[in-house]
Each structure stands twice: as structure tokens, then as C-alpha cells.
């Protein structure tokens, strides 16, 4: 079965949602490198149920009404990459982890660089929250959507990475909502 796609506007720019066999296979950034997430041929289908559901849940997330996604996922990658991406799904909303935290969770502290590489290849951005992975000192590090998008996502969740030690919860701030037309957050 071919990969189906539809696009949606978001506070982060245009996102391309990709599905296959009634599962979400990718969320691609507007300026994504074509080689970051290798996919087969794409066929546009704006009425695909999984893509419409993904768009709905992302809309709720961006408006501050959703903290967790409930979507069937189709990760395509190496066994190690899939383990990293599954570990991303365990990071709670409003919290961050370092690359070494993920390596420890996987049982191999020496795999920090491999975790970083797998994190960068995460095909299902936002839903598999690779934006919640930061440097050991709390600094923002590489992100396929760009560091500005990463900071916006962390701020939306109340987890500004520069003030959140890895593995700790951040007290909830005022409820924030996103204005998709402006790409801004406001309280």
C-alpha cells in the first residue's frame, strides 16, 4: 500500500502528515531534508481517516487542549532507532530528558551519540516527542524542525529546556494557546 499524505498549517509552519495502512508513518517539516525520513512514493489523500485524526489531535495539542496523542504509529527504521523512538514516547508532557538519559533507559550509556542520531531521524516528530530531548546541561540541541520550533514546542508544554533539568517536571504555567495564523503563543 502506498504512503498517503496531507498537509496542515500549524504554528510551526506547514506540516506534511504521512500515513500507511491506517497508521501514522511520518510528520514532516516544511523544510525537511528529503533524506531524513526515507519513504516510498506518496499519494495525496486529504480524506484519509488516520491523517484527519492526526490533524485533529495536533490541532488540540497546539491549542493547549491535548497533552497525549492516541494514534496508531508505523515506525520504519532500524531496530535500534525503533527502540529510541519508543523511549521518546515515555517522556511525559512538560518534561525533558537528555540523550544520556535515553541511552541509560536503553541500557547502554555508551550509545549517547547513536541515540542522538536516531533522535534526529525520528519520522513522527511532535507525536514521538523528540523535541523533549535536550543536551545534558539543559541546552537546546539539534532538531529537524529547527531550534525555534523546538523551543516553541517546549514552551507550549511549559517545559522551557533552559530551566528544566533533565528528568524533572516543570511547574505548569498559565495556559498557553497557539495562534496558527501568526505562529505565536499567547497567554
pLDDT tens profile 32-43: 888 888 888 899
Coil vs helix vs strand at 10: strand
pLDDT tens digit sequence for 5-31: 999 999 999 999 999 989 999 999 988
Q: Clarify whether 130 is annotated catalytic.
A: yes
- pLDDT at site 60: 96
What is the C-alpha to C-alpha distance for residues 168 and 34, in angstroms, rounded to an integer? Answer: 34
**169 compared with 140, residue with greater pLDDT:** 140
Neighbouring residues of 92: CB distance < 8 A, sequence distance ≥ 6: 169
- pTM for this model (two decimals): 0.81
- pLDDT at site 168: 45
Coil vs helix vs strand at 47: coil
**13 compared with 164, residue with greater pLDDT:** 13
Lowest mean pLDDT among 34-38, 92-96, 183-187: 183-187
What is the C-alpha to C-alpha distance for residues 174 and 10, in angstroms, rounded to an integer? Answer: 21
Element (H, E) at 160: none
User: How is residue 136 written as a grid cell?
Assistant: 545534558
- pLDDT at site 160: 57
pLDDT tens digit sequence for 105-163: 999 989 999 999 999 999 999 999 999 988 877 777 777 777 888 888 998 898 754 44
* The one catalytic residue among 130, 133, 149, 156: 130
| DSSP calls for 58-113 | HHHHHTT--SS----B---S-HHHHHHHHHHTTSPTTB-EEHHHHHHHTT-GGGHH
Parallel, antiparallel, or unpaired: how do β-strands 177-179 and 23-28 relate?
A: unpaired
Residue 172 has pLDDT above 50, yes or no: no
pLDDT tens digit sequence for 40-75: 889 999 999 999 999 999 999 999 999 999 999 999
Residue 176 has pLDDT above 90, yes or no: no
Sign of CA dihedral 75, 135, 60, 172: positive
Residue 175 — very low, low, confident or very high, per pLDDT cuts 50/70/90?
very low
What is the C-alpha to C-alpha distance for residues 81 and 111, in angstroms, rounded to an integer? Answer: 11
Amino acid at each position: 500500500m502506498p504512503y498517503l499524505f496531507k498537509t496542515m498549517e500549524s504554528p510551526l509552519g506547514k506540516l506534511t502528515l504521512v500515513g500507511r495502512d491506517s497508521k501514522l508513518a511520518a510528520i514532516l517539516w516544511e523544510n525537511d531534508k528529503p533524506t531524513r525520513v526515507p519513504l516510498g512514493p506518496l499519494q495525496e489523500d486529504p480524506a484519509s481517516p488516520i491523517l484527519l485524526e492526526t490533524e485533529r489531535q495536533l490541532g488540540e495539542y497546539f491549542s493547549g487542549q491535548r497533552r497525549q496523542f492516541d494514534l496508531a504509529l508505523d515506525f520504519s527504521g532500524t531496530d535500534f532507532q525503533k527502540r529510541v523512538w519508543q523511549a521518546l514516547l515515555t517522556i511525559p508532557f512538560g518534561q525533558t530528558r537528555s540523550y544520556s538519559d535515553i541511552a541509560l533507559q536503553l541500557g547502554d550509556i555508551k550509545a549517547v551519540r547513536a541515540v542522538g542520531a536516531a533522535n534526529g531521524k525520528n519520522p513522527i516528530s511532535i507525536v514521538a516527542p523528540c523535541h523533549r530531548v535536550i543536551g545534558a546541561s539543559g541546552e537546546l540541541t539539534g532538531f529537524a524542525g529547527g531550534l525555534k520550533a523546538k523551543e516553541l514546542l517546549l514552551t507550549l508544554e511549559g517545559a522551557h529546556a533552559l530551566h528544566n533539568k533533565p528528568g524533572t517536571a516543570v511547574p505548569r504555567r498559565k495556559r498557553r494557546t497557539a495562534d496558527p495564523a501568526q505562529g505565536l503563543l499567547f497567554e
